[in-house]
Every structure is written in C-alpha cells, then in structure tokens.
Structure 1
C-alpha cells in the first residue's frame, strides 16, 4: 500500500467533458512506475469515506481528478497526514489548482503529477480548518463565502427550476432585489468586533466561483487567512464592484476592506457558508490557518 497511488475521480466534473479521458490519465500516472487504483463511490459522502479509508490503510498518494469539489473531498482525507495529494483539474472552475500554480490542462497536470511521484517531489501549502459550533471540522483550500455569494448559492441550490447554471443567474437577480447588509460579529485573533457587510469572504488562496480573485493577495504559504468584505452599498454599487472581482481590483474600492489573521470567527443570523463551492453549515464558524497542512505533488 505504501507505494499505491489511489485516484478519486468525478466523471461528471466539467459537465462530463473529460469523462472519456480517464484511461489516458491513468496511463500517464502509471508511468511513474507505481500501482494505481481508482476508488469507487456513488456519492460525495462515499467518496470522502473511501479517501479516508485509503489514507488510513497506508496509501502512498491520493490523486483527485475533478473540480474544486473533488479536491475538497480529497483534502479532508490527507490534511495533516503528510500523504501527498495530486490534483488533476477537470472541473469548470479549478480555483484551487489555479491559485496553487498547478497545471490546468488535464494531461499536462497528469504528467506533472507522474513526474512528481517518480522524482519524490512535493511542496507544502496551508489549508484552512473550519470548526462548527458542535465541534465538527472541515478543511478548505480556496475560499469560504459568507455573504452575498453564499446567499445566492443557497437560493440557487434550493431552486428546482430552471435546471443548469441559469438558475444561479436568476438567484443573483432575486437576491439583489432584497439586498441588505448583515451585522457580523467577527473575532480576529482573539479580538472581537462588529461590522456591517453585504459581501464577505475568507481566503486561504485568492480565487472562488470560477476565477473571481475575491482575496487577491491571499498567499497559501504565509500561515495567514485573508478576509475581504464590502461595507453596506446600494444594489447599483454592488453590481459595479462585482465584475472587478475577476481582476482583483475591487480591493481598491473605498467600500471594500481587508485584513489578515491566523484565526477568524464569523457569526451572523441566517447565512449558510460555502467553502470551495461546497455547502458547509450555517454561521457561526471558526476558521484557522494551518501552515503546511497539505503536501502537494508538484
């Protein structure tokens, strides 16, 4: 098992456009000269459990083929263990891979992971560890959304019609119509304050939502989290700020603020937070930067 490379794949990632590429990817991974095994799972919960079991049984490496959600599942198993993680982006956003400077082409990424396996080449990156009020923990590698974008995700995920990404566009319009600032209690490295915000995110890396650089200065090697928020603004101003998030220039807007910290606790009413694009839980949550929590094959 110590030499075995265990692969978690999401056939539906990226709208299934890489579904037929798995044999070629596995062939490239096998070029590292180590046994390769693909995990079988019928749901996200089963996939996470399979990853945890493989790591517990002594897998030599875990490789995630998919988007940010697949990488998120794999991180739950390898965080803090030293078991190397390979990332082969196959999703629509691939924000963690992009922020971490990994190849985003499917086959180039597979070749890079194989070369790292063959040469024993790794590097360490920070992860964020999130703790819920009942003591449950989750890890995330990219960004946690806890403001307008989280509210839009929650509405979009509840909608049964229309199908596809357009429902999130509709959710944006519906939530813009009822836009209001929320009062947050934020504890930053042990010091509490209250702030009003319409948009709020905490980043280990810079990107979320398929390329939006919401925390443009976040560095996953500095042992710190970046929190970015927009103070109360009108609908029109938020609509003007949002496109600037793709380039990261929103950070210069006079209504946008940021800070860095090792630990951040967020509390407010009626917001469910999302991390790496995955639904986590209603606030409050505590987030801590954990230096070197993941070992990447790179």
Structure 2
C-alpha cells in the first residue's frame, strides 16, 4: 500500500496561483499530507520569481519534501531555491504536472495528478545543469535556448496557452515557420547565422518534442542542437522530422553531445525551462550539484498488487 503515515515529516507545497486547477490540487494534497500526520506549509506563487525563490528558501529549511504543483517554470524556481539554500541533498522534489509543457514530468512518466497519493515512492539522485553569462548564473532541469525558442515564446501568448494547452506549441511553431522571416531572432556564429540554438539535459522540450532521445538524468550528458538559417521549405521539412523524433538523422539540424557548450550571443535573450532570465553568450555545463526527485516505486507497487 502507498505510505499513509508521515509523522514528523515536513512538507512544502508550492503551487501556481494563476491556475485554478493547481489551486484545487494544492488543497487536496494539503489534506492528503495532513491526514498522514505531516506538517504542511502551503506557498502560492507570486508575480515575482525572485520573491518566490526567497520564500522557498525560508519555508524549505527543515523540510523533507517540496511538492511542486505547476509546470517547468515552477520546477526551475524550486530547484534554484534548494540549491541556493544548500538544501538539494535534504529536500526531495515531487512534481505534480499542471503546466502547459510539463517536459520534466513527461521525462519521468508522471501523468496523473494523484500519482503521489496512490503509489509507493522512491527518490532518485539526478543531475542539473548550470548556465553562466557575464556574472549571472542559474540552474536548469530541461533546457536552455535562444533564437527559435524565444521567438516561439513570444508567439505563444498566455491566452493561447490557456485555451489550447500543449497544442499551443504546435500553433506557435506553425506561425513561426510561415510568418515573417525578417522578424526572426538570428544568432551569429562566426561567419554563419543560426535561427535557433538549444542545449538540452532532458529528452523533451517545448511540450513534448523529442530532442535528446538518449538522455540520462542520473549520468548526465548534454545535447546541443543548432538550427541553421536556411530556406523556409528546407527548415520546415527539418523541423517536421524533429517533431517525429528523428533529430539525430536530420542532416539539416546540427546535433552533438558533450558536458559543456557555448550558446547564444550578446544581442539575444536566453530562456531556461521556458522563462527568460538573461542574455548570452553563455557557458552551459553539467553541474557537480545533484537534486533529489521523488518518483513512483513501480517495483514495490507491482509487488504489493500481485
């Protein structure tokens, strides 16, 4: 049976205040943990990621688990708070996916909102990556991108995400491919130009697009993807192949794996896990820091159900 009693266990629930579903699930999880005799702290998001990160540092002190009810941006805020407070080896992060993309949750097979209530859990030690640019730095758990990914964010307005969900990524990509070529954010690379540059830790970016098929979060290897400037028809064909999971066999897309990469230029913004934080150029590395992530213990659950 799933664990029912968590005496003396401190749990923080951080949730996306702008999502009605996240607010409802926060109440349900609060009741679940309180019934398990756990000490629960609820923390709604605010309009400021800096404020949220500061508050998380305070409330996670002495906690055992931080439940994130939101999307990849919310996960990024929690991870950076735990690392800044040096709590990443003490506080396990549990993700309840309520975002639009949910790439981190998808990478871990977390689909149902109530998985934490109905399954035995285990804790994995996983890698994170670090981005540094002109004295600014931040950690990420999915990817960092510039050019194409930032342009797609601007084409994927809030109302579109709210109404279309994951489909909003495909709609934004179609608007990008068939829209104005002159409005694209092109990244200079020596004598050449890229329409997009990405460095991925996980398998998915942008709501489930498979860009790093052999990613392993426990033994991290980064993938750098470059989308060179090219004719519209050729780029459309290449990106459609990427959508089909064929990125490594798409000759027009440059794909390589490693532990450290350079990305971006001084003129364009970088987005980390779906939010913009600073400009390039930046150095991206696999960090020596690791985090704890709660996932279902499938072996134990299957054993009890057999």
TM-score surpassing 0.5? yes
Q: Normalized against structure 2, the TM-score is what?
A: 0.79
The aligned counterpart of 1:89 is 97
Question: What does 1:106-145 align with in structure 2 at a 5 Å threshold?
Answer: 106-112=113-119, 115-116=120-121, 121-133=122-134, 135-145=135-145
Provide the residue aligned with 1:189 in structure 2: none
Asked whether the equivalents of residues 182 and 268 of structure 1 are also in contact (C-alpha less than 8 Å), the reply is yes
Residue matched to 1:274: 271
The CA deviation at 1:5 is 0.6
CA-to-partner distance for each residue in 1:61-95, whole Å, 9 max, x for gaps?
21111111111111112236312111111112110
Q: 2:54 aligns with which of 30, 49, 59?
A: 49
Deviation at 1:296, TM superposition (A): 0.6
| CA spacing shift, 1:236–1:179, aligned 2, 3 Å | farther
Which secondary structure does the structure 1 equivalent of 2:197 belong to? strand
The answer to whether the aligner puts 1:37 opposite 2:37 as a matched pair is no
Kindly provide the CA deviation profile for residues 187-235 of structure 1, in whole angstroms up to 9, marking residues without a partner as x.
xxxxxxx764222210110211111112333222223211111233211
Runs of at least 5 residues in structure 1 that lack an aligned partner in the other structure = 186-193
Show CA shifts across 1:6-40 (max 9, x none).
11011334xx3444333222233345542111114
Closer, same or farther: CA 103–61 of 1 in aligned 2, 3 Å: same
1:184 aligns with 2:184: no
Q: What TM-score does the superposition give when structure 1 sets the normalisation length?
A: 0.81
For 1:5, which of 5, 8, 11 is the aligned residue?
Answer: 11
* Alpha-carbon shift at residue 142 of structure 1 (Å): 0.5
Three-state SS of the structure 2 residue aligned to 1:216 is: coil
Alignment partner, residue 234 of structure 2: 237
Change (3 A) 1:30 1:281: same
Q: Which runs of 5+ in 2 are unaligned?
A: 1-7, 162-167, 296-306
CA RMSD of aligned residues (A): 2.8
Matches within 5 A, 1:14-33: 16-30=20-34, 32-33=36-37
- Corresponding pairs, count: 275
Residue 104 (structure 1) aligned with residue 105 (structure 2)? no
Name the stretch that deviates more: 79-88 or 162-171: 162-171
* Change over 3 Å in CA distance of 1:230–1:47 after alignment to 2: same
Match of 2:77 in 1: 73
